[in-house]
Chain A
Amino acid sequence: MIRVENLQKAFGDQRVLQGVTLEVQTGEIMIVIGRSGGGKSVFLRHLLGLLRPDAGRIWVDEVDITELRGRALDRVRERYGVVFQGGALFDSMTVFDNIAFPLREKKRSLGPSEIRDRTEEKLAQVGLSGAGHKFPDEVSGGMRKRAAIARALVTEPEIVFFDEPTTGLDPVLVNAIHHLIVDLHRKFRFTAVMVSHEIPEIFEIAQRVAMLHDGVIVEVGEPKVIQESANPVIQQFIRGQIEGPIRAT
């Protein structure tokens, strides 16, 4: 379980997170929605230990990661898989080597043939069989996202973070990636935390949705609860209306 309590972060005068409190249950898919530039990625980077909060706590099970540094933090990160917004594939490696990389570096007990088999299996699971020899800049945006998902899952992590995994893709690919995530979640039962603003598609895959607005979580609940929420901020956001409490700036 991940528990976030009163998380606060400011960059200069700009207060991005003003007291985020959220619980993510083990094994669920939690999707955090909110406006572009509203602090979703900043929130996620705190969960990954890439940013230090000004105030607040983050517990991963019973470990407060805001207190951790160096190897102690790495021990928590070893339970993570992360899909970055742009994929963050290593551009000097082929797709195959990108996916095999965490196995080669972190699972030192595995032999080359086992690494090859596992990587091929993961490539097949994300529909990239036969594309392993290509470099990231030789494949399409959708394929890059799939490769990034495969790399995040190859070590079979307990918790997987997705930072807007479908940004910049066409609607068909968005659905394909979402279904892939659901299939893989069903198979591996990881805890998933995703930030996204793919409305309404995310309501089909999320088990719970949290709305981040003005630096706080304004509401958390099952997709149906969020969709029927009386909160005008949520209604304006999911309907994409220009008029309302959210100012289009």
Chain B
Amino acid sequence: MNRGPTATLLRPVESLGRFSLDVVESLGRFGLFLGQAAVWIFIPPFKVLQLLQRIHFIGFRSLSIIVLTGAFTGMVLGLQVFITLSRFGSEAFLGPAVALSLIRELGPVLAALMVTGRAGSALTAEIGIMRITEQIDALTVMALNPMRYLIVPVIVAGLLTFPLMTAIFDVVGIYGGFLVGVKLLGLSQGTYFGEMQTFVDMTDIMTGFWKSLSFGVIVTWVCAYKGYHTGHGAEGVSRATTEAVVLSSVLILVWDYFLGSVLP
């Protein structure tokens, strides 16, 4: 029986099927990874020292970049929004415009992107190197769960530090806007902060908080997963690092839109 032509015709379908199965399988593995980590968060003994080290690595060591980018984001906002508002004679609303943009949107997103670039990539590389040098296998055969030792502290540190980093970003950004709007462009200090108090309420702050909290999970989850499942050799680690940063960044923006449309 000649199956040649049929097989040729079916090949694209076969490829599509294989591709679909691969995607479903990796999504399943990806979800399972977070599920396992979530379970291990609640099982003692808790690795407090590892958690503190991760908080230091993800949070404290990202402070300078957060302050720097926060300040300039606020300054740019102050300048651009002032120019726009002055066309309508509404400069008085500079304070709330800067604060709302930062608290609801730019603070969580930019802080998350900055921490992804600084700490997320390093995290993937570190865990990836541990994978290819069999350090993760060593933990496993010592009957010490790598999830508990490596992954849980990272994800919990992300949960704790991202909202704090975002808060710092917001505050520094608001003062950046203050510097430009009040000190350089002559808006009164009372107007800048007074209107801000009128228009910014707890709902806005909570929107930013939920965003930053979920970004903390997304970034640490993606970066830890990519490192944990890294390929072979230096090239594998380098590919995992690139994929972690790209995927985290895309997910931050997609998830930001989703939350932005769901949250009040």
B129, B140, B145, most chain A CB atoms within 10 A = B140
Task: Say which one of B25-33, B91-99, B130-138, B207-215 lies at the interface with A.
Answer: B130-138
Are A91 and B143 closer than 8 Å at their CB atoms?
Answer: no
Is B142 among interface residues, defined by CB-CB distance under 8 A? yes
Q: CA separation between A85 and B137, bound complex, in Å?
A: 12
Contact A90 B135 (CB under 8 A): yes
Residues on the B chain within 8 Å of A61, using CB: none
Write out the residue numbers on chain B whose beta carbons fall within 8 Å of the beta carbon of A105: 142, 144
Is B184 part of the binding interface, using a Cβ–Cβ cutoff of 8 Å?
no
A91 engages B144 (CB within 8 Å): no
Q: What CA separation (Å) do A50 and B143 show in the bound complex?
A: 11
Interface pair A88/B142, CB less than 8 Å apart: no
A/B pair count, beta carbons within 8 Å: 45
A48 to B142, CA, bound (A): 10
B48 interface contact, C-beta 8 A: no
Q: Scan residues 89-106 of chain A and give those whose CB is less than 8 A from a CB of chain B.
A: 89-91, 101-102, 105-106
The stretch of A4-12, A25-33, A72-80, A181-189 in contact with B is A72-80
Interface size on A, residues (CB 8 A): 21
Known contacts A90-B135, A91-B135, A48 near B144 by CB under 8 Å: no
Is the beta-carbon distance between A106 and B144 smaller than 8 angstroms? Answer: yes
Give the contact-size bracket for chain B. Answer: 10 to 19
B10 part of interface (Cβ distance < 8 Å): no
| A84 sits at the interface (CB 8 A) | yes
13 further A-B contacts with Cβ under 8 Å, apart from A91-B133, A106-B143, are: A48-B140, A48-B141, A49-B141, A50-B137, A50-B140, A80-B141, A86-B133, A88-B135, A88-B137, A90-B130, A91-B135, A105-B144, A106-B144
- Interface of A toward B, CB cutoff 8 Å: 45, 48-50, 74-75, 77-78, 80, 82, 84-86, 88-91, 101-102, 105-106
Of the A-B pairs whose beta carbons lie under 8 Å apart in the complex, a sample of 26, sorted by A's number, is A48-B137, A48-B140, A49-B141, A50-B137, A50-B141, A74-B143, A75-B143, A77-B142, A77-B143, A78-B143, A80-B141, A82-B141, A82-B142, A84-B137, A84-B138, A86-B133, A86-B134, A88-B133, A88-B134, A88-B135, A88-B137, A90-B135, A91-B133, A102-B142, A105-B142, A106-B142
